[in-house]
Structure 1
Amino acid sequence: MEVISHLISYNFISAAMIIGIIIMLIENRKESPRGSEHIAVTVVFLIIIVVNTELKEWFFATAYDSTRDYRGDAAMWFMYVRSTVEHILFPVIAYVLLMMIAPIKKKYITFMPALVLAIAEIVNLLGPKFIFRFDRHLDFHDELLFLLPYFVGMLYLLLLLRYSIMFIREKQMSKGIAVIFIVFLTILECYLEAAYIVVDLMDEIVALDVIIYYFYLVAIYQSETKVKLRTSELELERSRRLLALSQIQPHFMYNSLTSIIYLCDKDTEKTKSALIDFSKYLRKNVDALSRQGLVSIKEELEHTKVYLSLEKLRFDEDLNVEFDIRDDMFMLPVLTVQPMVENAVKHGIISSESGCGTVKVITMEAGNYHRITITDNGAGFDPATLEHLDESHVGIANVRKRLSDECGGELIIHSVPDRGTECIILIPKENGNENTGN
């Protein structure tokens, strides 16, 4: 308990930083931003360094005797081991940071300086003292190669600096600046340590470096996650749209082909015209699957007329169609009018008691909107049932959503049972909807 108390009292900042990093790692363990495993390794090394430093401080505060000759004593061996571990770990931490930040393929080559240092430190520990030594009173003394740990650490910092410049050139400004700041802090600490201005500050600086870069990693991860989520949502919505647009009604195709076959023996020219219309109808639906952006109202009305010409093959005089086009200079989502007209025919006219009626399509300007009105005098329905429409109603929900998403438009439906239905499509006069209509 005395050691722990001393640890918290004299290494409070280091301990607080390390605990903070551990909490962040635990908090983001599910997301696991790229580089988290390197940070976890660094935290382990930092804990070793802090405990290592604290053991030295505790020894000098409680058991050290400045008049004693420690040659051959366990305390002398302990001091050599802890200094060797410390000299090895700092460059290794710089190497781990480099691996976390830089896209290095031949990692074993980059690790060679740290490996050479580790071997040299072990030789210094077990044999001749050419890096550092302790005298009989445990005073630390630099030897010929005392700058070797700093040199290896500086080598990794220079590599970090090189990659930071590369990041900035590649327009990764935030990453480049974060790395430069980390390098600056670490070089400053190395200078303070080498000049004996400040002692045992490296653990706090490294912890601060890790916190800085971890916050960067988390921020980038969250940003990338939002982009991926938005992209996935757009792809999903596009897939739903393509699925909805690809649902060419089988019964309509069957009925149209049956009508065309019936015409073959009666009217060759009319059959030819019907086949042309049928191919146009199919082509329009297929093209809609890959169509990007908006289409002109003229194009949409042309497709609607093709559809109605095929329905007229079946119902002839029972289906009356009227167009009143007062505004044809705007754009709208593909397959917007035709599905609503198909609903008017299928669920309005055909479902009425008489089995006949009129469908009207009117376009006009209305204030800040282009307005398309589709009416029928067919069966009608209770508007409350719109919330529970089944799949037989062709794309009402899909049309409404595409209008909202693609041009800020709106679909309004009014209906009275046994009297008919009115569908109103409103297209705002903005966001590039004004067009020649060609």
Structure 2
Amino acid sequence: MAKRLLLILFLFVLGDIYFFQAFSTVIHGSIWHNMYWGIDILLFFGVFSLIFLRRAGYDVQETATSLITAFLIVFIPKLLAVPFLFVEDLMRIFRYFPPRSIFLSEIVLFLAGAILLVIFFGLTKGRYFYKVREEVLSFPDLPMAFDGFKITQLSDIHSGSLSDIKRVRKGIELANAQNSDLVLFTGDLVNNKASEMEPWVSDFNRLEAPSGKFSVLGNHDYGDYVQWESVESKALNLNRLKEIHHEMGFKLLLNESIAIEKQGEHISLIGVENWGKGGFHQYGDLAKATLGLDADTFKILMSHDPSHWDHVTLDYNQHVHLTLAGHTHGMQFGIELFGLKWSPIQYFYKQWAGLYQKQGKYLYVNRGFGFHGLKGRIGVWPEITVITLRKSVV
């Protein structure tokens, strides 16, 4: 992890030096130049200090979050403006390296300023900038009674990060406005402790669906990322979290399935505990959850971590038609405009946001309702997913 961080910092330094060419072309004076480099030196000093303190055993999570936010504000606008300078340099090669264009440097600074405004929006209003994303999925073996059946999926509420009651309530109202038959929550109700959800229970209890509300646990729900006084206190925390799901009106599925019935027909809703790659706990047990189900039953699986789909679900001996996941948050940072979809998280997860299809099976990865780590969302907005099931003609 430290080596990867050092490589990232090195790339930031190269981009920063390059961007300074445009900065110094437009803005003159040693005072401004010293301020430019002074801010950078303070940030890098902070990073190396955190690395040292973390290795010494100190809890630096909150400080690290603030530092990451500062890095985004300072460096991302510069890095995204660098390609324009690179194109200019390619043109300068054929003109025997004349002085850098003041006009183009002004454009680059303007672009960096615009990106900075987007980042500020993401770190303030963007964290509650809820978006409804709709998908219509067709299946030849869907029971006829479920043709047109609507599912609202929420994921990654991370209640310990939420603070704006009015905006959160608007998000809940937006979810209810979809008038779905079923509401499903795919894990990470809290950051660490059940107590984080206590102030929000009555609000999320307002979610409504005639066919029920169901949920599963995410990696943060087990309390694995906080130091507990004892094993017993950690267990009590998890039990309290399970009670909160019930108080919110959700049926928590723990490696089990339940039949959703309509007009004499049914589909199977399956919920597994968290199962993740790369060091995450693998509590999920799909075999246990599907025990006793008929092979030809239409199945919807809730599994918090999308890596479970690749590593377990796809090659499972029973056909799972649709898997709903979350976990990645789309890294809360990326670009989703005009058909372009990119986030650094895609280098860690092949399926990180939206709809995926393979071997006749679907996976939908929700971008998350809340936020964690980075105290905002930039380009990857909080999501309310609405999936409509249709019966296709064979």
TM-score of the aligned structures, taking structure 2 as reference length: 0.25
The structure that is helix-richer by fraction is: 1
The structure whose residues are more often strand, as a share, is 2
In the superposition, the TM-score normalised over structure 1's length comes to: 0.23
Higher relative CO (CA 8 A, sep ≥ 6), structure 1 or 2?
Answer: 2
**Rg larger for:** 1
